[in-house]
């Protein structure tokens, strides 16, 4: 019998989990305020959403499905919709559910929303203990808001009262760099216990929702500054320097554009230099445009190249990337397949995931899965959807080899 596949990247939350300010990623702030209130009235949500979609700016249109599914359904409904297509062929498919902390996407903050989301996901885990593999969202700003991160991690990851959460999720575009000093202890804990981390790594994403990202968040402060004597591949130190200088010259950029600096794959060298055994997945391989774009642009512009350099580096044995979201394009699948042919090590470091429900705008979840399987071929499918996820997800707290 075929072993159980694992989708390493999905989301299941609804509009009750996000602050009103989230809408300002899509439409003007003033409209966002009004629309957010109306969207929370169930029978109004469809027409209002229709209006929001019509008004949304192009850059953020691809994120609109967060709202489309999220306004009218419960978290369990979203989860059921995700599993619907799988059940015929993969009745025991496992789903990594990534929670996201939106509480600090504005200066004012919105306390409690993330806890609401976690409560819903804990319910889901209770109902579907084998299928649902939740990741806990971590934001370094939790520490300044009274959450002591280490005891927080201990409360979820301990053997006597294990929560069932299997990994940690970062979403830097909401306003922090991966090398934020508050995250050092998180990486240290994760590395020590082989806990898998997932981080969003593509230009664009949900971003800081005030009109300006505060300078205190923009200025890159790292727990591990690299030097020209650090052990890095050729050109990486220079590219990092260039990126940091570009950041300092672009502090006046709007949050929608500035968020790319938070997300950049070059940011992970600081982290991995200090924690080379860290188990971390750079989601989306740096984005579809940079995958099919090949070697175009400067080193700093070649996100996919940077991601590959990190995941195939021998010293970083536990780094991964996933094909979630970007797998909706056949040319992307083709490019990735060729790269795996050329470098077998890469095939051991890529994970299958879909990014449900971000992709549902383009194609139905299950069509996406079957198309990917067909185009990538059986050998790679087995590697990316079964072998690699088991290795990635296994920690001191969870044995994914038994799935």
- 62 or 212: whose CB is closer to Zn ion? 62
170-178, 264-272, 307-315, 353-361 -> range binding Zn ion (CB under 5 A): 353-361
Instruction: Note whether 335 and 365 are within 8 A (CB).
Output: no
**From the CB of 66, what's the least distance to Zn ion, in Å?**
10
Are 56 and 24 in contact by the 8 Å Cβ rule? The answer is no
Q: Interface with Zn ion by CB under 5 A: which range of 122-130, 162-170, 351-359, 377-385?
A: 351-359
DSSP SS3 for 279: coil
State the minimum distance, in angstroms, from the CB of residue 10 to Zn ion. Answer: 8
Tell me whether strands 94-98 and 319-322 are parallel, antiparallel or unpaired.
unpaired
DSSP 252-319: TS-HHHHHHHHH-GGGHHHHHHH-TT--EEEEGGG-HHHHHTTT-S-GGG-HHHHHHHHHT-TT-TTE
Measured from the CB of residue 213, what is the shortest distance to Zn ion in angstroms? 21
Q: How far is the CB of 388 from Zn ion (least distance, A)?
A: 18
Decide: 387 and 344 in contact? Cβ < 8 Å.
no
Residue whose beta carbon is closest to Zn ion: 355
Q: Which is nearer to Zn ion, 143 or 322 (CB)?
A: 322
Residue 288 binding Zn ion, by CB under 5 A:
no
CB of 48 to Zn ion, least distance (A): 24
Q: Count interface residues toward Zn ion (CB under 5 A).
A: 1
CB of 8 to Zn ion, least distance (A): 10
Choose the stretch contacting Zn ion; rule: CB under 5 A; options: 42-50, 205-213, 309-317, 350-358.
350-358
Q: Considering only the stretches 127-135, 298-306, 355-363, 385-393, report the one whose residues sit in contact with Zn ion under the rule CB under 5 A.
A: 355-363
b/e map 341-364, b = 16+ CB within 10 Å: eeeeebbbbbbbbbbbbbbbeeee
3-state SS assignment for residue 280? strand
The one-character DSSP state at 181 is: G
DSSP label at residue 135: E
- Could you tell me which stretch among 23-31, 139-147, 306-314, 352-360 binds Zn ion (CB under 5 A)? 352-360
Q: Does residue 204 belong to the site contacting Zn ion (CB under 5 A)?
A: no
* DSSP-assigned beta bridge partners for residue 367: none
Among the listed residues 391, 393, 390, 394, the one whose alpha carbon sits nearest the alpha carbon of residue 5: 390
- DSSP for 229-258 reads TS---TTHHHHHHHHHHHHHT-TTS-HHHH
**Is position 355 an interface residue for Zn ion (rule: CB under 5 A)?**
yes
Q: Which is closer to Zn ion, CB of 99 or CB of 383?
A: 99
Nearest approach, Cβ of residue 265 and Zn ion (Å): 16
Q: Cα dist. 45→25, 39, 52, 73, 263 in Å?
A: 18, 4, 10, 11, 31
Number of other residues whose CB lies within 10 A of the CB of residue 132: 23
Q: Which is nearer to Zn ion, 173 or 319 (CB)?
A: 173
With contacts defined by CB under 5 A, name the span among 15-23, 108-116, 208-216, 347-355 that binds Zn ion.
347-355
State the nearest-atom distance from the C-beta of 192 to Zn ion, in Å: 26
Q: How many residues does the chain have?
A: 403
Report the nearest approach of Zn ion to the CB of residue 33 (Å): 26
Nearer to Zn ion, 65 or 355 (CB): 355
Considering the complex, state which of residue 103 and residue 355 has its C-beta at the smaller distance from Zn ion. 355
Q: Which residues pair with 110 in a beta bridge?
A: none
Binding site for Zn ion (CB under 5 A): 355
């Amino acid at each position: 019998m075929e072993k159980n596949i694992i989708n390493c990247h999905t989301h299941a939350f609804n509009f009750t989990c996000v602050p009103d300010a989230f809408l300002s990623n899509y439409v003007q702030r003033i409209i966002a305020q009004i629309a957010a209130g109306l969207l929370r009235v169930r029978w109004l949500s469809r027409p209002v959403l229709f209006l929001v979609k019509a008004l949304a700016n192009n850059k953020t249109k691809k994120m609109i499905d967060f709202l489309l599914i999220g306004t009218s359904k419960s978290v369990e409904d979203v989860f059921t919709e995700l599993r619907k297509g799988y059940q015929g062929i993969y009745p025991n498919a496992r789903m990594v559910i990534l929670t996201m902390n939106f509480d600090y996407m504005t200066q004012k903050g919105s306390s409690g929303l993330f806890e609401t989301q976690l409560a819903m996901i804990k319910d889901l885990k209770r109902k579907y203990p084998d299928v649902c593999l939740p990741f806990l969202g971590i934001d370094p700003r939790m520490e300044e808001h009274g959450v002591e991160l280490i005891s927080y991690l201990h409360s979820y990851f301990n053997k006597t009262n294990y929560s069932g959460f299997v990994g940690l999720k970062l979403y830097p575009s909401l306003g922090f760099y991966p090398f934020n000093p508050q995250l050092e202890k998180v990486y240290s804990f994760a590395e020590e216990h082989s806990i898998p981390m997932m981080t969003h790594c593509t230009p664009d994403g949900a971003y800081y929702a005030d009109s300006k990202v505060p300078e205190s968040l923009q200025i890159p402060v790292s727990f591990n500054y690299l030097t020209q004597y650090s052990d890095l591949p050729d050109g990486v130190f220079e590219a990092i320097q260039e990126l940091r200088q570009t950041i300092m010259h672009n502090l006046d950029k709007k949050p929608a554009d500035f968020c790319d600096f938070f997300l950049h794959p070059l940011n992970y060298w600081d982290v991995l230099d200090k924690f080379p055994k860290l188990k971390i997945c750079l989601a989306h391989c740096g984005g579809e445009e940079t995958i099919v774009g090949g070697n175009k642009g400067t080193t700093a512009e070649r996100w996919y190249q940077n991601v590959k350099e990190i995941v195939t580096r021998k010293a970083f044995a536990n780094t991964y990337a996933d094909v979630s979201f970007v797998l909706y394009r056949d040319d992307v699948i083709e490019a990735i397949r060729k790269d795996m042919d050329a470098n077998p090590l890469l095939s051991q470091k890529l994970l299958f995931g879909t990014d449900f429900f971000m992709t549902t705008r383009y194609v139905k979840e299950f069509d996406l899965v079957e198309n990917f399987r067909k185009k990538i071929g059986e050998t790679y499918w087995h590697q990316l959807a079964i072998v690699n996820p088991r290795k990635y997800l296994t920690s001191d707290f969870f044995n994914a080899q038994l799935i």
